[in-house]
């Protein structure tokens, strides 16, 4: 205890000092174990650099929501050597704490893609650019997202099959959702999985705000839902999360923490090109390690691209697979002409700002209580990012079983970070309406079935340059009208007894460009939607799956890239159309199903009949 004596003037007879040291030691142990390097797979990069890379049966590019799944499943056969290449590194402590999810944006763990202005959306953002966060670390975006577990509507997947993609219907993909899942709770519909790698459980969070919203939805006669996993995702209810004991459970934690000897992982390695032989078979991957060392590694069987909706099309185009004219203009030798990068889709969203009853100023004591509760008991306000509420509605008719709008509720204790991407004038106008004592919630209104389509294109042949993202959000007027209907439906909540009891009121944002229109008129909301557009991070579709007669399709229903051999894309970029929910669970399902197709093609053990 001599360590404390010169730094602490308080007198102790000896008992208090060891108690204090025990408290400090307990806190430090919990803190350090949150994301210990021992949790994550060993980095094979230094060995590959020293001795040269080995030859592998399969190479998987990207350790994200789908790639981690594919690498794990392929390595289940000990006879197969698998290499997983990841551009980022291990998840930091902030990734593990649900309440700190936004702190990873615009850091080294986030690709932080700027989008190109289209003059019709994101008009109040700096340079009219909506920034798209995507995970650049083990687990990919599953390590930085809101952790909500939602599968979507059965119609979404049945529609994929109707478009010419056999065995992608709801009943078939349900098997793969269940295969991945280890559900911790009561399964009312026999729709959850048990024993899979991905832990799914309820959030450990305060329930007051959730109860307020759900009671209001009940007053407004919205369907009350026990569980959103049976393919009928319309109504209001609680969502589960990809969590375990109050901490994030990413695909890195579920699929990569206990890897087999036949799976190697190289971190901080950016794939720059897939190389083909004379028969157009993918034979090797060139990558740059630690931004310094270029290396090439061979695959004897297949190369799987799971780099995500932006990086997957970028890598294909750098490798010579993409729009013929675009690649020719950049001087990239053409391997196969295809509309790679087209069909980009996202759920366009706009924020509404809800002021809740005054809770008094947050003082140092309450902050410390929250920190203690999280580190020791894994409960409290830091255990929640977005509220775990499923809110899926059809704004035209409540009785219709297919939603067109989703509401996402985000408590914002520190509002300044949320406003950081808005232009200074807009940022000031948002903050000006709020007193220091206001407790705030951002309600995102997201259009689930957008008609607008964007595209991704290379900025240059340099792998370091971020691609051009032409998101084209709100280029179709129907998307604007859907958002306006969704806003009006959400404003009705303010009239309920539940909201009145909490003194919950929506705040007006003083947008100079929209002040010429009567407040809450259709004209005002149309202006508001175009200026306050944002993303809820559900981008998909840039390497579209489709039948041979579909000229816009890049991969077949087994996710094989057409026009070449030995190459697949397995991630959310293959979705032909966007599902009507959060996309992470679906990306994991795609990883499971894609891995099963590979096993089938190479006569390896399969878990589920893939069709």
DSSP assignment string, 486-501: HHHHHHGGGGSHHHHH
171 domain-assigned: no
Same domain, 412 and 508: yes
Residues 564 and 444 in one domain: no
Structural domain total, the chain: 3
Query: Which pTM was predicted?
Result: 0.93
C-beta of residue 573 within 8 angstroms of C-beta of residue 308: yes
Examine the domain organization and report whether 244 and 273 are in the same domain.
no
The residues that bridge with 305 in the sheet, in sequence order, are: 61, 569
Q: What is the CATH number of the domain that holds 349?
A: 3.30.560.10
Neighbours of 521 (CB within 10 A): 11
Q: What is the pLDDT of residue 80?
A: 96
Whether 594 and 508 map to the same domain: the answer is no
**Do 443 and 407 touch, CB atoms closer than 8 A?**
yes
Query: In this structure, is residue 269 part of a structural domain?
Result: yes
Q: Domain boundary at 499, 520, 535, which?
A: 535
How do strand 293-305 and strand 567-569 relate by DSSP bridges? parallel
Tell me which of 192, 471, 538, 557 is the catalytic residue: 538
Residue range(s) defining the domain that contains residue 584: 41-89+252-340+540-601
C-alpha pair distances (Å), 570 with each of 181, 500, 541, 579: 19, 48, 11, 16
Asked whether residue 423 falls in the same domain as residue 528, the answer is: yes
Task: Among 535, 552, 583, identify where a domain stops.
Answer: 535
Q: Please report, for the domain that includes residue 576, its CATH number.
A: 3.50.50.60
Residues 362 and 219 in one domain: yes
What phi, psi does 408 have (nearest 5°)? -120, 130
Q: Is residue 214 part of a domain?
A: yes
Residues 264, 120 share a domain: no
In a domain, 204, yes or no: no
- Indicate the length of the chain as a whole number: 611
User: End of a domain among 535, 566, 590?
Assistant: 535
Does residue 432 share a domain with residue 366? yes
Report residues of the chain scoring pLDDT below 70: 1-14, 16, 19-20, 22-23, 27, 29-35, 205-206, 358-367, 398-399, 413-438, 606-611
* pLDDT at position 255: 98
- Kindly state the DSSP code that residue 323 receives in the 8-state scheme: -
Per-residue confidence (pLDDT) for residue 398, from 0 to 100 = 67
Same domain, 73 and 115: no
Counts for the chain of helices (H) and strands (E), in that order: 17, 26
In terms of domains, do 258 and 359 share one?
no
Residue 188 lies in a domain: no
Is 351 among the domain residues? yes
Q: pLDDT by residue (tens digit) across 275-326?
A: 999 999 999 999 999 999 999 999 999 999 999 999 999 999 999 999 999 9
**Same domain, yes or no: 525 and 479:** yes
Give kind and range of the element (H or E) at residue 264. strand 263-266
CB < 8 Å & 24+ apart, contacts of 164-170: 164/546, 164/547, 164/549, 164/550, 164/557, 165/545, 165/546, 165/547, 165/557, 165/576, 166/557, 166/611, 167/557, 167/610, 167/611, 168/545, 168/557, 170/231
pLDDT for residue 428: 63
132-142, pLDDT tens digit by residue?
Answer: 999 999 999 99
* pLDDT value of residue 410: 87
Is there a single domain that holds both residue 485 and residue 439?
Answer: yes
How big is the chain by its Cα radius of gyration, in Å?
25
In a domain, 168, yes or no: no
The predicted pLDDT at position 38 comes to 80
The question of whether 377 is a catalytic residue gets the answer no
Beta carbons within 8 Å of 284's beta carbon, 6+ residues apart: 274, 275, 296, 297, 298, 299
Determine, yes or no, domain membership for 192.
Answer: no
Cα separation of 388 and 149, whole Å? 9
pLDDT at 99: 81
Q: What are residue 596's phi and psi, to 5 degrees?
A: -65, -35
């Amino acid at each position: 205890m001599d360590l404390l004596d010169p730094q602490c003037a308080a007198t102790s007879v000896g008992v208090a000092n060891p108690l204090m040291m025990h408290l400090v030691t307990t806190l430090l142990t919990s803190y350090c174990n949150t994301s210990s390097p021992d949790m994550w797979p060993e980095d094979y990069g230094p060995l590959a650099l020293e001795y040269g890379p080995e030859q592998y049966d399969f190479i998987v590019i990207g350790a994200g929501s789908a790639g981690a799944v594919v690498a794990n499943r392929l390595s289940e056969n000990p006879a197969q050597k698998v290499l997983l290449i990841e551009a980022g590194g291990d998840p930091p402590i902030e990734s593990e704490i649900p309440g700190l999810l936004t702190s990873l944006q615009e850091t080294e763990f986030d690709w932080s893609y700027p989008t190109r202005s289209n003059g019709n959306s994101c008009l109040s953002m700096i340079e009219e650019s909506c920034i798209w966060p995507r995970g650049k670390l083990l687990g990919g975006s599953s390590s930085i997202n809101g952790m909500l577990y939602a599968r979507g509507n059965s119609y979404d997947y049945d529609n994929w099959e109707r478009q010419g993609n056999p065995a992608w219907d709801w009943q078939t993909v349900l098997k793969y959702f269940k295969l991945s899942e280890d559900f911790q709770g009561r399964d009312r519909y026999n729709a959850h999985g048990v024993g899979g790698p991905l832990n799914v459980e309820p959030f450990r969070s305060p329930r007051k705000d959730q109860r307020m919203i759900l009671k209001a939805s009940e007053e407004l006669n919205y369907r009350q839902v026990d569980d959103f996993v049976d393919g009928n995702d319309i109504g209001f209810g609680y969502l589960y999360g990809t969590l375990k004991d109050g901490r994030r459970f990413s695909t890195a934690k579920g699929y990569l923490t206990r890897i087999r000897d036949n799976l190697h992982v190289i971190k901080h390695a950016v794939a720059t090109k897939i190389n083909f032989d004379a028969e157009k078979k993918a034979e090797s991957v060139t990558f740059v390690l630690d931004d310094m060392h270029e290396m090439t590694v061979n695959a004897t069987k297949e190369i799987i691209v799971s780099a995500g909706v932006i990086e997957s099309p970028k890598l294909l185009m750098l490798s010579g697979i993409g729009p013929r004219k675009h690649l020719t203009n950049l001087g990239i030798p053409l391997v196969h002409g295809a509309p790679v990068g087209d069909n980009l889709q996202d759920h366009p969203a706009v924020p509404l700002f809800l002021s809740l009853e005054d809770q008094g100023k947050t003082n140092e004591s309450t902050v410390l209580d929250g920190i203690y509760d999280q580190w020791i008991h894994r409960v409290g306000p830091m255990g929640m990012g977005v509220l775990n509420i499923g809110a899926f509605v059809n704004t035209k008719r409540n009785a219709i079983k297919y939603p067109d709008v989703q509401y996402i509720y985000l408590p914002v204790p520190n509002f300044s970070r949320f406003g950081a991407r808005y232009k200074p004038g807009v940022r000031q106008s948002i903050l000006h309406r709020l007193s220091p004592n206001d407790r705030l919630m951002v309600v995102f209104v997201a259009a689930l079935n957008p008609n607008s389509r964007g595209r991704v294109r290379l900025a240059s042949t340099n792998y370091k340059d971020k691609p051009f993202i032409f998101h084209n959000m709100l280029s179709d007027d129907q998307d604007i009208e859907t958002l306006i209907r969704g806003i009006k439906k959400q404003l009705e909540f303010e009239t309920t007894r539940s909201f009145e009891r909490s003194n919950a009121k929506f705040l007006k944002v003083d947008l100079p460009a929209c002040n010429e229109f009567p407040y809450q008129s259709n004209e005002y909301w149309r202006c508001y939607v175009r200026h306050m557009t944002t993303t809820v991070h559900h981008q998909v579709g840039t390497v579209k799956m489709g039948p041979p007669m579909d000229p816009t399709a890049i991969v077949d229903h087994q996710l094989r890239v057409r026009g070449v051999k030995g190459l697949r894309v397995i991630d959310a970029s293959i979705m032909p159309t966007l599902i009507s929910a959060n996309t992470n669970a679906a990306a994991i399902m795609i990883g499971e199903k894609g891995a099963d197709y590979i096993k089938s093609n190479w006569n390896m053990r399969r878990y589920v009949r893939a069709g």
